[in-house]
Structures are given as C-alpha cells and as structure tokens.
Amino acid sequence: MRVLVIEDERRLTENIARSVRESAGYAVDCAFDGENGLFMAKSNPYDLIMVDLMLPGRDGLSVVQELRRGGANVPILVLTARDEKESVVALLNAGADDYVTKPFDLGELIARAKALIRRGKGESDTVLRFHDLEMNIADHTVHRDGEPISLTGMEYRVLEYLAHRRGAVVSKTELLEHLYDFNWERFSNVIEVYISGLRRKLGDAKGEKLIQTLRGRGYVLRA
C-alpha cells in the first residue's frame, strides 16, 4: 500500500512516515504544503491520504474539496489541531473519511490508517480469506491450509495487495505504483522475483496454484 502525508511540520511528518513504514509496511510519500500535496495526490495512485488541516498555500479543507470534486475516492484522514465542532462537520461534509486531533498517539493513527485502507478496499475484517489462504493484516501473519508461512516484508506487501484485489488482474505497473514511493529504484524484474518467491513459499508448485500469470496483462489471485 502507498500513503501520502501532507503536513507542514517536518518533524511530525518524519515521525508519521517512519511509523507507517515500520509498523504497517506501507510506502510513504510526503508533501509539506497544500499545493504540492494536491499535485501529488492527483498524479499518483494512493491507498490513503493524510492531510493536515492548516497548511501553507492551500489548507487541508480545500485539498479535500478539490480531490472530491475531481472524483477521487481515495480514503482521506485529516490531521487537525482544531477540535471545534464546526471544523469537524465541515471536514466530513467535504468528503473526509476520518480525523485525528493533535497531539495524537502514533499507534492510534496507524490503526485508523489501516482501518480506512481496509474499508477503502471493501473489507470489513482484519483477516483476508481466499480459498485455503488466510492473511491477518493486523499482525501480518499468513497461513495456507492452516500452516504458517514466513514471508519477507515485500513478499507480504505484494500478497496483501493481490489479496485485496483477488479475482482481478493486477498489472506489474499497478503493483509497482502501490508498493513503492518516489525513491524506489526502477528494476524491471523486481516484481517477478517477489512473485516467484511467493509461489514457492505458498506451495503453488505442489498443489493448487493461487497466483496465476496472464501473459502481457499481469497477475491474478484466484483458485
């Protein structure tokens, strides 16, 4: 998953980005003003946007309104130091999905972020189930046919994205766009390497294959 944080307090932004990367395993991009944040939000496919209410240039409310007017349906979590009822109502009416009031606990922020991404993918449970595969997205554990499977961080992220999109064809470009931030190095075969590792660990060579390749189109998780 890929998250955009739009926040002008750089130390806070760095703390949020580090926590999201380490605790949730998501890719994170950062913007420090409303105009640049809006440009990035329109230019890249994000699974969640965190935006501060008070920003230089263009405030968070304006960013939310502009994104929703443009048809963006990405989940939006607003960070605000103002807890007046009118501000909260305006944010929610503009299309924000949730908000947290500063100062906030980073653990709570991560939990809210995961919940918004889960709901944005149409999931109501923290456990994703498909055929004999089970993924707990809260603690990043994976089981197939009841047996635990140990994955690297990136293997887990690839499988989680495919699980959220199970039954749909996911191109290599889509995977790259949702799993890496602006700083990733564009190795052409990196996705193939992770897919190969996943197939081996999932035991696809021994039994029913879950990850299938559609030549020229991408990958699909289906039985």
Task: Please state which CATH class domain 127-221 belongs to.
Answer: mainly alpha
Angular region, 50: left φ>0, alpha ψ -120 to 50, beta rest:
beta
| Structure confidence at residue 131 as a pLDDT band (50, 70, 90) | confident
Instruction: Find the range with the poorest average confidence among 7-11, 108-112, 190-194.
Output: 190-194
Question: What are the boundaries of each domain within the chain?
Answer: 2-120, 127-221
One fold for 2-120 and 127-221 = no
Q: What is the DSSP letter of 101?
A: E
Kindly report, residue by residue over 76-109, the tens digit of the pLDDT. Answer: 999 988 776 678 888 889 999 999 988 899 999 9
Strands 76-80 and 98-101: parallel
Asked whether the predicted pLDDT for residue 7 surpasses 80, the reply is yes
DSSP string, 136-189: ETTTTEEEETTEEE---HHHHHHHHHHHHTTTS-B-HHHHHHHH--TT----TT
Tell me what pLDDT residue 185 has.
62
CATH topology of domain 2-120: Rossmann fold (3.40.50)
